[in-house]
Amino acid sequence: MSDKLRNYINGEWVASSAEIYLDVENPATGEVLAQVPMPDGKDMDQAAEAAQAAFDGWRRTPAGTRIQELFKLKRALDENFDAIAEIITIECGKTLAEARGEMIRAIENVEVACGIPRMMQGDVSEDIARGIDEMMIRQPVGVCGCIAPFNFPGMISFWFLPYAIACGNPFIVKPSEKVPLTMQKIFQLVDEHLDLPAGVLQMVHGGKESVDAMLDHPVIRAISFVGSTPVARYVYSRGTANGKRVQAQGGAKNPIIVLPDADMDMTVKIAADSAFGCAGQRCLAASVAVTVGDAGKTFTDAIAEAAASRVTGYGLDAGVQMGTVVDKNSAARIEGLIQKGADEGANVLVDGRNAQISGYENGSFVKPTVLSGVNPSGEIARTEIFGPVLSLIQVNTIEDAIAFVNGGQYGNMACLFTQSGYAARKFRYEAQAGNIGINIGVAAPMAYFPFSGWKDSFFGTLHGQSGHAVEFFTQTKVVVERWPKEWSRQF
């Protein structure tokens, strides 16, 4: 019998009020790992009230004291690094190396947030008029929360969590119901190793009902969402209609452009890692490769070979280069979209459908797939697939390629492969995306840069991580002061 997961509310592990529980499965083996509660809004309401009760004491705790808890968190994450990475692989299906990579970025965000005593400092101007001073101070906004997707169970909450609490806000995490075990482990570490006041850091499981309760609860002041575009749009509009700050990161359809002068060996290796790494389930995965002029033939042959030779299997097994997709529904949806591409006239150059992995017959595997001759206006060229599928499009000029990039619905990432500084500069300047890679395939910002997309990849203003997070999790107050000499005792 597998475990029924509990929420972490007010400093304690609390049984959910849910009547419905979903199985959490290992996507490679089909083994049931645990059961996750799917409550109505009551659990979230309980956490919101505990957070509100904790707020005043936490905001009055000096920032230098607050970040001591981040040092403890970093130490706990470091000491349990391999155990957490293994849970990520077991519940999410990616390789162990990929799981470790995401925890490195999670920890990096904790490290950057340790600078918050300096990062949330305000500004002062003396003598804006004679004897009058003006200052801008930053104060925490109040109870905050985040809603996470399935593809980075360890990392994504950390784009927000360490900044929110270091700025003096209580914070509630709502993990993806598909992969709740990683956060469960991290909150065990929070419970055992940190000395946070009860209610400052909480976790509530669930799906839409927990999200809706977060969007509607009046004490929750700011929400960070990461997931698909339709849900991001919904979270943004309902949350802002309720007067909350919302930053909502959505889906993607990331193009990479290959010019004829690109270093082809390097480009193909990087493009394959971008398209097939994490089984294509990265918001910064390459999904379309646009080849310009002579680049087409060489790139097509080489990427097909790279796709066909990539070793797919269980992420815990040695030598595996690509794991599963998240579940069977996802595998069926991806295979349906590959068929859609074929129906639209694309050539399925490498076909990853109906993958059989010996010893894992029950696994949710789709192998690397390459579609060539894709119609730039077809559905397969425009729809987010979120699987290991790369569509190839051939154009004649860099202008045609940039027009394709800028004609898309999304704007999360766009990359260019070239040895021309002029072309690189033109692309950086003109491409409409929040993250640009030049001879880079996954242009993921370090924790000390802001992270988010443009267009339908993002709803809001301030992005995740670093200085943007500090601005999102604080509100400014401007004070103008006059202290006439005649009012004061003379010394």
Q: How far is the CB of 120 from ligand NAD (least distance, A)?
A: 24
Phi, psi of 220 (to 5 degrees): -80, 120
> What is the rounded CA–CA span in Å between residue 116 and residue 122?
12
> What is the rounded CA–CA span in Å between residue 303 and residue 489?
80
Instruction: Tell me: does residue 386 bind ligand NAD (CB under 6 A).
Output: yes
* Cβ pair 111, 138 in contact under 8 A: no
Q: Of these, 251, 323, 363, 368, which contacts ligand NAD (CB under 6 A)?
A: 251
The CA-to-CA distance between both ends of the chain, in Å, stands at 76
Find, among 262, 260, 272, the residue nearest to 417 by Cα. Answer: 262
Stretch that binds ligand NAD, among 121-129, 172-180, 364-372, 416-424 (CB under 6 A): 172-180
Instruction: Tell me: does residue 21 bind ligand NAD (CB under 6 A).
Output: no
Instruction: Tell me: does residue 151 bind ligand NAD (CB under 6 A).
Output: yes
Which one of 92, 144, 283, 415 is the catalytic residue? 283
Judged by CB under 6 A, the chain residues 269 through 298 that form the site for ligand NAD are 283
Instruction: Tell me: does residue 404 bind ligand NAD (CB under 6 A).
Output: no
CA distances to 162, 195, 419, 442 from 292, rounded to whole Å, are 43, 57, 14, 20
Judged by CB under 6 A, the chain residues 441 through 480 that form the site for ligand NAD are 453, 457
Q: Which residue has the tokens 């993921």?
A: 444
Q: How far is the CB of 405 from ligand NAD (least distance, A)?
A: 17
Q: Which is nearer to ligand NAD, 138 or 174 (CB)?
A: 174
Q: How many beta carbons lie within 10 A of that of residue 262, not counting itself?
A: 25
167 included as an active-site residue: no
Judged by CB under 6 A, the chain residues 215 through 234 that form the site for ligand NAD are 226-228, 231, 234
Could you write out the DSSP letters of every residue in 11-37? Answer: TEEE----S-EEEEE-TTT--EEEEEE
Instruction: Tell me: does residue 148 bind ligand NAD (CB under 6 A).
Output: yes
Q: How far is the CB of 285 from ligand NAD (least distance, A)?
A: 8
The amino acid that residue 157 corresponds to is: S
Q: How far is the CB of 147 from ligand NAD (least distance, A)?
A: 5
Q: How many beta carbons lie within 10 A of that of residue 449, not counting itself?
A: 14
Q: Which is nearer to ligand NAD, 208 or 425 (CB)?
A: 208
Side-chain half-sphere exposure of 418, counting CA atoms within 13 A: 21
Q: Which is nearer to ligand NAD, 277 or 296 (CB)?
A: 277
Q: Of these, 16, 46, 287, 412, which contacts ligand NAD (CB under 6 A)?
A: 412
Q: How far is the CB of 360 from ligand NAD (least distance, A)?
A: 22
> What is the rounded CA–CA span in Å between residue 159 and residue 176?
15
Q: Of all helices (H) and strands (E), which one includes residue 245?
A: strand 245-249
| Site residues, ligand NAD (CB under 6 A) | 147-151, 174, 176-177, 207-208, 211, 226-228, 231, 234, 249-252, 283, 384, 386, 412, 453, 457
**Catalytic positions, please?**
283
